[in-house]
A and B are shown apart, each in its own frame.
Chain A
Amino acid sequence: MIRVRDLEVNFDFPVLKGVSLDIEDEEFLVILGKSGSGKTVFIKTVVGLIRPNRGEVSIDDISVTNGEPKELLKARKNIGFVFQGAALFDSLTVFENIALPLREHFSLTKKEIKDKVKKSLELVELEGVEKLYPAQLSGGMKKRVAIARAIAYEPKYIFFDEPTTGLDPETALKITKLLKDLWKKIKGTFIAVTHDFGFTEEVATRIAWLKGGRFEFVGKVNEFKKLDVKEIQAYFVKTF
Chain B
Amino acid sequence: MRIFVSIFEEAGGFISSFWKTLIYLKEIGKTRKDIVFQINQIGVNSLPLVIFTSAFLGMVAAVQTAYQIRDYVPLIYLGAGVAKGVMIELGPVITGLVVAGRVGSGIAAEIGTMKVTEQIDALEVMGISPYRFLFIPRVVAAMIALPMLTIIADIVAIFCGMIISHFTGIANYILFTRGARLFFLPKDLFGGLIKASAFGIILSLSGCFYGMETKRGAQGVGLSTTKAVVTASLLILLFDYLLGVIIFG
Contacts and interface: CB of A to CB of B under 8 A. Distances in A.
A235 interface: no
A48 B121 CA distance: 10
Interface residues of B, number: 13
Interface in B1-52: 30
Contact of B126 (A72, A88, A90, A101): A101
A87 B126 contact: no
Interface in A52-90: 72-73, 76-77, 79, 81, 83-85, 87-90
Contacts of A104: 30, 126-128
Nearest to B128: A104
A47 to B, nearest CB: 5
Contacts of B127: 72-73, 76-77, 101, 104-105
A84 B118 CA distance: 9
Contact of A83 (B113, B121, B128): B121
Contacts of A89: 114, 119, 122
A206 to B, nearest CB: 23
B64 interface: no
Contact of A81 (B30, B114, B125): B125
A100 interface: yes
B124 A49 contact: yes
B26 to A, nearest CB: 14
A89 B114 CA distance: 8
Nearest to B120: A87
Nearest to A77: B127
Interface in B68-82: none
A211 interface: no
B66 to A, nearest CB: 48
Interface in B101-130: 113-114, 117-119, 121-122, 124-128
Contacts of A101: 126-128
A87 B118 contact: yes
B10 to A, nearest CB: 20
A104 B113 CA distance: 23
Interface string A99-119: 011001100000000000000
Residue of B30, B118, B119, B122 contacting most chain A CB atoms (<10 Å): B122
A49 B117 contact: no
B118 A83 contact: yes
Interface in A18-61: 44, 47-49
A36 B249 CA distance: 59
B23 to A, nearest CB: 11
Nearest to A146: B122
B126 A76 contact: yes
A79 B126 CA distance: 7
A48 B30 CA distance: 24
A229 B100 CA distance: 58
B121 A49 contact: yes
**What are the 3 A-B residue pairs with the smallest beta carbon separation, nearest first?**
A87-B122, A76-B127, A87-B118
Interface of A: 44, 47-49, 72-73, 76-77, 79, 81, 83-85, 87-90, 100-101, 104-105
9 contacts: A47-B125, A48-B125, A49-B125, A81-B121, A83-B118, A83-B122, A85-B118, A88-B122, A104-B128
